[in-house]
A and B are shown apart, each in its own frame.
Chain A
Amino acid sequence: MEKICVISGADRGLGFGLCQELLEKGWKVFAGQYIANWKELSELKEKHEEKLFIIPMDVSFVESVQKAFRMVKEQVDHVDMIISNAGIFSGKGDLRGEIDYKGAEAAYNINAIGPIRLVESFLPLMKSGLKRLCFVSSEVGSISMAYRDRDFGYSISKTGLNMAIKIMFNDLHPHGYTFRSYHPGWVRTYMSGSKNNNGDLEPIESAIPAIKLFTEDREDEERLVMIDYLSGEWPY
């Protein structure tokens, strides 16, 4: 049977690559669109008319995510998988320069709290099916590996996210939900607004191992771990 996925931040970068890869594998995809005038998703829609559905979604507002939920609910009776992918890079600054606190609040609101809004809103559609919750996190959230000494906002938002995933795991895993936490590597994406050309990977190169991790079974579902694009495990 056809499987169904909802993904946030699908407009471009890694999120767009994840949509492409899922469609390749025959999934039905509800793609959360944040930027209405971005063309790539609409072009992908022309290619996958029956399988791809674009829904407006801003994970920083619970009303927006709940509206997206109602739109999905009109079309399907369940969702197999959620991919929480939307994220921003903000909250830059050095202790001996100036720290952007407003940017740090925005990063936390989108990167750490956004995924909770997404899961809470879509849980009513996940009582059957695969029951898989996937999160794009990052090695920048790993405290024990942290070497950075500035641009606090982004790193602390991902540490906060890792805690949020753990609490969801503690609550929902006993009810049959399975979890994936992914560090995508340094991808050439649009996290800071314009495309970063310095990264190690093109979005699709990170999307392929991501979808493999998200869709395949794991023997070790009892343990929540962050896995990177090379299948390496990251500590907290």
Chain B
Amino acid sequence: MSKIAFITGPDRGLGFAMTERLLDKGWKVYAGQYMPQWTELSDLCKKYEGNLILIPLDVSKEESVKKASEMVSETTDIVDLIINNAGIISKTYNKKISMGLDYSEMERVFNVNTLGPLRVVEAFLPLTDKSAMKRLCFVSSESGSINNSNRQDNYGYCMSKAALNMNVMMMFNRLRPEGYTFRLYHPGWVRGYMFGKKSEEGNLEPSEAAIPAITYFLRDRCRDPHDSKRTDEDRLVLRDWLGRELSW
């Protein structure tokens, strides 16, 4: 039987590419659609008839996330994998403190990037509890690493990702003893749609970035590549697309 995933922010960019990659590998995907006016996902539905199911979702609203979980549970009892991918950045990200900061934007970015994944994990627990895989994946960012940070701007986004890393650490503390496994991931600098239209800057196309991401999300983490029994699931790490571990 095919495995079942739920993904947030699948409309375009990395989220779309990861959705396509999962479908390619034979997964059934429930995709939390945020922008019904964006047609790429509907086109993908035609190609993977029956295996891609679109669910309306706004991770910034509790009611929307709860509703999405209810809709998914109408057609499945189990979700094996959740990919928390939805994220936003402020258009005024490049302001330093003396240039006038947009505080309401900071609150909005936190609500989506940091609290969104918590809402999703909480609401989907009844479905993931029934899976043997119990895997929770989070698209974070190197910009959330306080140790590595050399930025002088972009408060809202960097703070939201640092706070997300802490959020995931606390979820790990809570759910790892119950058998859950975690992937906290920096996908690289992707030419996605974070600023509304497709970015021309960046190192990776979304379809390129989706390959190491999905590989890392699906495979077991082993301490010893020759001995799959020696897992490394009892430690939460932030890894990038080349497998490098980033500091907090």
Contacts and interface: CB of A to CB of B under 8 A. Distances in A.
A95 B174 contact: yes
Contacts of A236: 146-147, 247-248
Interface string B101-134: 1010011001100110011011001000000000
A149 interface: yes
A141 B159 CA distance: 12
A156 B166 contact: yes
B169 A120 contact: no
Nearest to B158: A163
Among A104, A150, A157, A166, residue most surrounded by chain B Cβ atoms (within 10 Å): A166
Interface string A139-167: 00101101111101001110111111011
A108 B110 contact: yes
By secondary structure, the A interface counts as helix
A116 B163 CA distance: 16
B107 A159 contact: no
A99 B123 CA distance: 10
B39 interface: no
**Chain A contact residues (Cβ within 8 angstroms of B): what range?**
35 or more
A112 B160 CA distance: 10
Interface string A105-120: 1001100110011011
A159 B166 contact: yes
A164 B98 CA distance: 14
Interface stretch (A3-11, A168-176, A194-202, A210-218): A168-176
B165 interface: yes
Interface of A: 62, 94-96, 99, 101, 104-105, 108-109, 112-113, 116-117, 119-120, 123, 141, 143-144, 146-150, 152, 155-157, 159-164, 166-168, 170-172, 235-236
